[in-house]
């Protein structure tokens, strides 16, 4: 059965097209810097926001009209699967991502839940045989069910630690079965509300133990996906242990896990942490920890995790600059962890939203490549740090100095000369490229 009967395969028609069901900038076969857009951008559809999201918010019930919602239970799961592969094909996306609970309903116990998963995973594998769309990553939802009230791997309750491990174990098996490129850990409830009843050290040590066991099990079953931590500073807990990339990186290093993980960086999580998207990408990139991206944007006027489809071209440009400088995303991709607005409740809005996101990152890619080709920012940065290319600066970076010599140098200074940072000029130049 087809759910999007009136919508055909979305094709590239160019920036002057007025067809709402066409790409204006994303041309999968067009080469940018020697690779095709499809190869660089590696777009993914998020199963949860696209097929299970009902657009409810804390103040109101869901508004989404989804023809497949006439079903319930396993029938609904099967209908969503059918819809998913229709949408993947029509959007021509290379990847998708899901949580365990997105694809199959939970049963009355873990065994039943796993049976439901097995049924859907078997069907999914069949759909994937006839589809170009691959699994970018899967993950375990260890945050929605009330059992995770006090956390999952950082819960005070050891039974829940075990339950969480069993869900991740199953997730790793599913990832292997479906050939996932990555496996994601977003610690939805891995954090705390108040220190008054929290053993922070035990919780963090347990989280470290949990990740080591996951690494060991993936190795045991021969699942070679890249493991990814997805940082987020808050929501739902007040203090999340994976606050941002820097915090997550320190955690991984502290627990001897940094060789096994990279980061899945989400734009809206970056802004919630008080950073820009590109700050998080840069922090990961310069530490060789950039794995994948959850492509969305927040609403600065609201301030919570609104998961909007990315349309801000300035942001997509600076993000693509980091990604290109990283030499691409490797096994990662740009997953649209984004939902249509509550007012965009019709099924076709799912297409408009993805087209908007895919076009926005395609523009970002082209502009970023041009900025790199023209060495716009590189030239500025090189000039700004010139003082480290000779004299005392060169001694500092080559480790040839110490506090005695530096004091001697400082005492001999009569006047320190600075150059202007020229920020407005730089921004005006970037605007010329947009
Ligand atoms: C919610 C998070 C999740 C992760 C996967 O804020 O973005 O959707 O991407 O668990």
pLDDT at 303 over 90: no
What does the DSSP 8-state code read for residue 148? G
Q: What is the 3-state secondary structure (H, E, C) of 324-362?
A: HHCCCCCCCCEEECCCCCCCCCCCHHHHHHHHHHHHHHH
Assembly ipTM = 0.94
Ligand 1 pocket test: pick from 237, 294, 295, 332 the residue with the most ligand atoms within 8 Å of its Cβ: 294
Q: Is the peptide bond before 236 cis (omega within 30 degrees of 0)?
A: yes
Which pTM value belongs to this model?
0.97
What does the DSSP 8-state code read for residue 69? G
Between the CA of 186 and the centroid of ligand 1 the distance, in Å, is 6
> Collapsing DSSP states into helix, strand and coil, what is residue 317?
helix
Exposed (0-12), middle (13-18) or buried (19+): which is 189, by Cβ within 10 Å? Answer: buried
CB atoms within 10 A of CB 371: 21
- The answer to whether residues 161 and 155 touch, using CB atoms and an 8 Å cutoff, is yes
List the structure tokens of 214: 């996951």
List the structure tokens of 257: 């896990």
CB atoms within 10 A of CB 1: 9
List the structure tokens of 155: 């819960």
**Active site (catalytic) residues:** 99, 102
Between the CA of 230 and the centroid of ligand 1 the distance, in Å, is 8
Predicted local confidence at residue 211, as pLDDT: 98
Between the CA of 190 and the centroid of ligand 1 the distance, in Å, is 13
Q: Which protein residue's CA is at the shortest distance from atom 3 of ligand 1?
A: 186
> Collapsing DSSP states into helix, strand and coil, what is residue 375?
coil
Give tens-digit pLDDT for 227-282.
Answer: 999 999 999 999 999 999 999 999 999 999 999 999 999 999 999 999 999 999 99
**DSSP-derived secondary structure for 392-417:** HHHHHHTT---HHHHHHHHHT-S---
Whole-number Å distance between alpha carbons of 104 and 120: 7
**What's the first-to-final CA gap in the chain, in angstroms?**
42
Whole-number Å distance between alpha carbons of 366 and 416: 40
Q: Which protein residue's CA is at the shortest distance from atom 5 of ligand 1?
A: 186
Q: Average pLDDT in the 168-184 region?
A: 99
Residue 123 CA to chain centroid, in angstroms? 26
What does the DSSP 8-state code read for residue 388? G
Give tens-digit pLDDT for 351-391.
Answer: 999 999 999 999 999 999 999 999 999 999 999 999 999 99
Q: How do strand 226-229 and strand 239-240 relate by DSSP bridges?
A: unpaired
Residue 185: closest CA among 273, 267, 260: 260
Ligand 1 pocket (Cβ < 6 Å) reads 99, 139, 184, 186, 230, 232, 266, 294, 305, 337
In 92-190, which residue ranges form alpha helices assigned H by DSSP?
Answer: 100-103, 110-129, 158-178
CB neighbour list of residue 45: distance below 8 Å, 6 or more residues apart: 84, 87, 88, 91, 93, 95, 96, 97, 133, 335, 336, 354
Confidence bin at 1 (pLDDT 50/70/90): confident
Task: Please give the share of the chain, as a percent, with pLDDT higher than 70.
Answer: 100
> Collapsing DSSP states into helix, strand and coil, what is residue 141?
coil
Task: Please give the share of the chain, as a percent, with pLDDT higher than 90.
Answer: 99
pLDDT at 177 over 90: yes
Q: What phi, psi does 186 have (nearest 5°)?
A: -105, 120
List the structure tokens of 426: 């730089």
Confidence bin at 216 (pLDDT 50/70/90): very high
Predicted local confidence at residue 265, as pLDDT: 98
Residue 403 CA to chain centroid, in angstroms? 43
Rounded (10°) CA dihedral 24, 321, 43, 292: -170
Residue 303: closest CA among 340, 274, 280: 274
Q: Average pLDDT in the 330-349 region?
A: 98
**How many CA atoms are closer than 13 Å to the CA of 308, on its beta-carbon side?**
19
Q: Which protein residue's CA is at the shortest distance from atom 7 of ligand 1?
A: 337
Q: Which protein residue's CA is at the shortest distance from atom 10 of ligand 1?
A: 186
Whole-number Å distance between alpha carbons of 226 and 245: 16
Confidence bin at 61 (pLDDT 50/70/90): very high
Q: What phi, psi does 265 have (nearest 5°)?
A: -100, 125
Exposure string over 108-119, b if 16+ CB within 10 A, otherwise e: eeeeebbebbee
Predicted local confidence at residue 2, as pLDDT: 86
Give tens-digit pLDDT for 111-132.
Answer: 999 999 999 999 999 999 999 9
Ligand 1 pocket test: pick from 244, 248, 263, 266 the residue with the most ligand atoms within 8 Å of its Cβ: 266
Exposed (0-12), middle (13-18) or buried (19+): which is 362, by Cβ within 10 Å? Answer: buried
Summary mean pLDDT of the chain: 98
């Amino acid at each position: 059965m087809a759910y999007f009967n009136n919508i055909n395969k979305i094709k590239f028609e160019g920036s002057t097209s007025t067809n709402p069901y066409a790409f204006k900038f994303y041309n999968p076969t067009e080469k940018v810097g020697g690779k095709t857009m499809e190869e660089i951008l590696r777009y993914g559809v998020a199963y949860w926001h696209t097929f299970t999201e009902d657009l409810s918010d804390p103040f109101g019930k869901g508004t989404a009209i989804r023809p497949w919602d006439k079903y319930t239970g396993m029938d609904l799961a099967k209908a969503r699967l059918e819809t998913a592969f229709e949408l993947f094909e029509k959007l021509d996306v290379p990847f998708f991502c899901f949580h365990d609970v997105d694809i199959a309903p939970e049963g009355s116990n873990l065994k039943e839940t796993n049976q439901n998963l097995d049924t859907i995973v078997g069907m999914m594998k069949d759909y994937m045989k006839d589809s170009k769309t691959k699994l970018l990553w899967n993950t375990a939802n260890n945050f929605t069910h009330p059992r995770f009230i006090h956390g999952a791997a950082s819960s005070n309750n050891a039974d829940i630690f075990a339950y969480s491990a069993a869900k991740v174990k199953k997730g790793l098996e599913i990832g292997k079965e479906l050939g996932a490129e990555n496996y994601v850990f977003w610690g939805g409830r891995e954090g705390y509300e108040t220190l008054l009843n929290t053993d922070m050290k035990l919780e963090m040590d347990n989280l470290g133990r949990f990740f080591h066991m996951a690494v060991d099990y993936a190795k045991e079953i021969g699942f070679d996906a890249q493991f990814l931590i997805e940082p987020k500073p808050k929501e739902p807990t007040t203090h999340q242990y994976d606050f941002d990339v820097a915090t997550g990186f320190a955690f991984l290093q502290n627990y001897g896990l940094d060789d096994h993980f990279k980061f899945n960086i989400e734009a809206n999580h970056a802004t919630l942490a008080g950073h820009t998207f590109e700050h998080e990408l840069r922090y990961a990139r310069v530490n060789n920890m950039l794995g994948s991206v959850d492509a969305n944007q927040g609403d600065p006027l609201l301030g919570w995790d609104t998961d909007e489809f990315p349309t801000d071209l300035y942001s997509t440009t600076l993000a693509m600059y980091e990604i290109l400088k990283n030499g691409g995303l490797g096994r990662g991709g740009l997953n649209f962890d984004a939902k249509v607005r509550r007012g965009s409740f019709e099924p076709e809005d799912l297409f408009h939203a993805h087209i908007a996101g895919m076009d926005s990152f395609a523009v970002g890619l082209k502009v970023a490549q041009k900025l790199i080709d023209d060495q716009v920012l590189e030239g500025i940065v090189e000039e700004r740090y010139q003082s480290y290319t000779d004299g005392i600066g060169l001694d500092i970076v080559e480790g040839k100095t110490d506090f005695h010599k530096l004091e001697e140098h400082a005492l001999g200074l009569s006047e320190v000369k600075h150059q202007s940072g020229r920020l407005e000029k730089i921004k005006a130049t970037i605007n010329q490229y947009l």
